[in-house]
Structure 1
Amino acid sequence: MLTIRARLRKMTEQLTASERKIAQAILADYPFSGLLPIQELADRTGVSSASITRFVGKIGGGGYQDFQRQLIGELKEGNQSPLDLKVRQAPAEAEFLADYANRLSTILREMAETVSQEQFDHICRLLADPGRSIFLLGGRVSDTLAGFLSIHLRQVRGQIYHIPDNTEFWPEHILRMRKKDVVVLFDFRRYQPNLAVLAEMISRKRQATIVLITDKWMSPIARYSTEIVALPIDAGTPWDTVAAANAFVEALIVKVSEVDWASTQERIRAWDEVRLDSPSPGENSNSTMEIEGTNET
């Protein structure tokens, strides 16, 4: 089932001017603005309580209280642990590996349908812009995605910074950020609170562009993000999948490298010239003997 956020975005063209005001107010501080008392939301938007009631009915709510229950349900869903998910695990076929591969195939198709080409192209342009520094960080598990993306982007262009998970090093990176820079944050359900604190600080003090890669239940970082990529993660098992996130990151790497392929080629050649590759075992021993012999004479 689509989240309320997804429904609002999908129905934008079907909404009246007053309904768009309500939708914009809810999306601006999602989902928290939707949890306000109906009169307070009416005061904020300049729209009557009756209009809000009709609006929530139009987007699939059975009244304002039901609308709020749906939002609360989304918040709870975003905090599900493997223990919670095990209870509703989808039955697997006898050949689990093949069955799981089919589930991932469905998830990848859903990802391709969920993320628009326009948004993907825009993020690629941001990451490829040599005038912008790029900062990356993820949560306890998702930081592996940030690391994977940063390793490849470093070979494509300069000014790529993978922020350490130790918060003592965060001030150095925050102070380095400029308004035109880009911060890519990965955060999936069982969201990491300190990442939201970091995003709020970046938004308030540095005004850098924040690109959030999350799931459909939305990390709290969404409140401070310029771009939000909501990816499918539920494979019907106790463990969420990062297959869609991996595919999305790999697609970014390919397209960013092709934005200015001549520059990418030059960067890779220069990178390879100074890379300290480990020699083969035979080469290592011979080189060591020659160096030691030279030192002795």
Structure 2
Amino acid sequence: MPPIAGKKTVKQIIQDNLGDLTRSEQQLANVLLQDYPMAGLKSVTKFASAAGVSTPTVIRMARKLGFDGFPHLQDALRDEVAAQIKKPISKHEDWQTQTADSHPLNRFAATVAENIHYTLERLDRDQFDAVAGLLADPERRIYVAGGRITRSNADYLFNHLQIIRPNVTQLGSFVNVWPQYLLDMDERSILILFDIRRYESSILRLATLARERGCRIVLFTDQWGSPVTKVAHYVFHALVEVPSSWDSTIAIMLVLEALIAEVQRSGWDESRKRIEELDSMFSATRLFRTFE
């Protein structure tokens, strides 16, 4: 199988080259994107039939995307599926087999820097601005939830948003009480979710139910994309692989901190009042040490 440029998934390659495809090839691409990656794992005849095109069109599209043919495109899709379901122990063994020419700290930092660079390179600025605008609207109620690994990201976002604007709620860690939060969600609500591999079914169920209530869904996920992608209105993809058994959310945190800064900037007058009032409360309770 030919190497994919950088760390791009097949989905990203299609999105980057969609404008260069013919109408028939675009039909194929849309079928694959709508049922990704399963549509592309069918036989060439079934895939072509699903898009209403000929089998040679499938082969031409695969080659335009940089693959030797459709079987090689399918190999790339299978590799993505295998990577998504990889367990921490398997990840550790894979990294151990790779030669390391530098100190582990340098190797880890270099990988994180590459993840950040690639994440920012592919980040949709218009989408970033749209989400920042939604989060800066104090009339919109915001709900935040994360999974087993990404709960810390949800905590971080909640702690900052709750200081600089009102109407922010963090869903508890007990999934069985999430339906109680759904009761208050409507078309003026925003649900921010975090879900990276191994994707959690509870997050998908929450997103699906919230969307049915008209809630706007913002998703932070990895390069492959959580199943929540299908119901989310806004999706931020970030690279997460590092030399570890676990995935890194540093690239996600960068986007989060930038969003927090923009929300605070756009609503600074109100944010400043809240921060000043909070500081007064901290002083009154002597929660933090002062140096006066």
1:181 aligns with 2:189: yes
Q: 2: distance between equivalents of 1:112 and 1:263?
A: 29
Counterpart of 1:126 in 2: which secondary structure? Answer: helix
Alignment gaps of 5+ in structure 1: 284-297
1:19 aligns with 2:30: no
1:4 aligns with 2:10: yes
1:190 aligns with 2:174: no
Work out whether residues 135 and 263 of structure 2, in 8 Å CA contact, stay in contact via their aligned partners in 1. Answer: yes
1:165 aligns with 2:157: no
In structure 2, the residue matched to 1:35 is 41
Work out whether residues 211 and 226 of structure 1, in 8 Å CA contact, stay in contact via their aligned partners in 2. Answer: yes
Alignment length (residue pairs)? 282
Instruction: Note closer, same or farther for the CA distance 1:98–1:45 as it changes in structure 2 (3 Å cut).
Output: closer
Q: 2: distance between equivalents of 1:282 and 1:67?
A: 59
1:97 aligns with 2:105: yes
| Post-superposition offset of 1:274 | 4.2
Give the root-mean-square deviation of aligned CA atoms: 2.5
Alignment partner of 1:207 out of 214, 236, 241? 214
1:165-195 deviation line (CA, Å, top 9, x unaligned): 2122111111211123221111111111221
Aligned residue identity for 2:235: I
Counterpart of 1:70 in 2: which secondary structure? Answer: helix
Q: Which structure's CA Rg is the greater one?
A: 1
In structure 1, the residue matched to 2:4 is none
Work out whether residues 196 and 226 of structure 2, in 8 Å CA contact, stay in contact via their aligned partners in 1. Answer: yes
Q: 2: distance between equivalents of 1:139 and 1:8?
A: 29
Q: 1: distance between equivalents of 2:158 and 2:200?
A: 20
Q: 2: distance between equivalents of 1:54 and 1:110?
A: 28
Work out whether residues 145 and 193 of structure 2, in 8 Å CA contact, stay in contact via their aligned partners in 1. Answer: yes
1:247 aligns with 2:254: yes
Instruction: Note closer, same or farther for the CA distance 1:24–1:276 as it changes in structure 2 (3 Å cut).
Output: farther
In structure 2, the residue matched to 1:265 is 272
Work out whether residues 215 and 230 of structure 1, in 8 Å CA contact, stay in contact via their aligned partners in 2. Answer: yes
Aligned residue identity for 2:174: N
In structure 1, the residue matched to 2:54 is 48
Q: 4+ runs of 1 displaced by more than 6 Å?
A: 280-283
Work out whether residues 282 and 288 of structure 2, in 8 Å CA contact, stay in contact via their aligned partners in 1. Answer: no
Work out whether residues 145 and 192 of structure 2, in 8 Å CA contact, stay in contact via their aligned partners in 1. Answer: yes
| Post-superposition offset of 1:281 | 10
Q: 1: distance between equivalents of 2:175 and 2:74?
A: 35
In structure 2, the residue matched to 1:231 is 238
Q: How does 1:26-175 map to 2 (within 5 A)?
A: 26-89=32-95, 90-93=98-101, 95-175=103-183
1:108-141 deviation line (CA, Å, top 9, x unaligned): 2222212132222222112112232111111101
In structure 1, the residue matched to 2:3 is none
Aligned residue identity for 2:175: T
Q: 1: distance between equivalents of 2:132 and 2:263?
A: 5
Counterpart of 2:144 in 1: which secondary structure? Answer: strand
Q: 1: distance between equivalents of 2:280 and 2:245?
A: 45
Work out whether residues 83 and 238 of structure 1, in 8 Å CA contact, stay in contact via their aligned partners in 2. Answer: yes
Aligned residue identity for 1:271: L
**Equivalent pairs: percent with the same residue?**
28
Work out whether residues 18 and 26 of structure 2, in 8 Å CA contact, stay in contact via their aligned partners in 1. Answer: yes
Work out whether residues 108 and 243 of structure 2, in 8 Å CA contact, stay in contact via their aligned partners in 1. Answer: no
Q: Which moved more, 1:106-115 or 1:188-197?
A: 106-115
Alignment partner of 2:229 out of 219, 222, 226? 222
Counterpart of 2:15 in 1: which secondary structure? Answer: helix
TM-score normalised to the size of structure 2? 0.87
Q: 2: distance between equivalents of 1:149 and 1:58?
A: 41
| Post-superposition offset of 1:282 | 11
Work out whether residues 181 and 208 of structure 1, in 8 Å CA contact, stay in contact via their aligned partners in 2. Answer: yes
Work out whether residues 84 and 197 of structure 2, in 8 Å CA contact, stay in contact via their aligned partners in 1. Answer: yes
Q: 1: distance between equivalents of 2:265 and 2:149?
A: 29
Q: 2: distance between equivalents of 1:102 and 1:37?
A: 40
| Post-superposition offset of 1:210 | 1.3
Aligned residue identity for 1:238: S
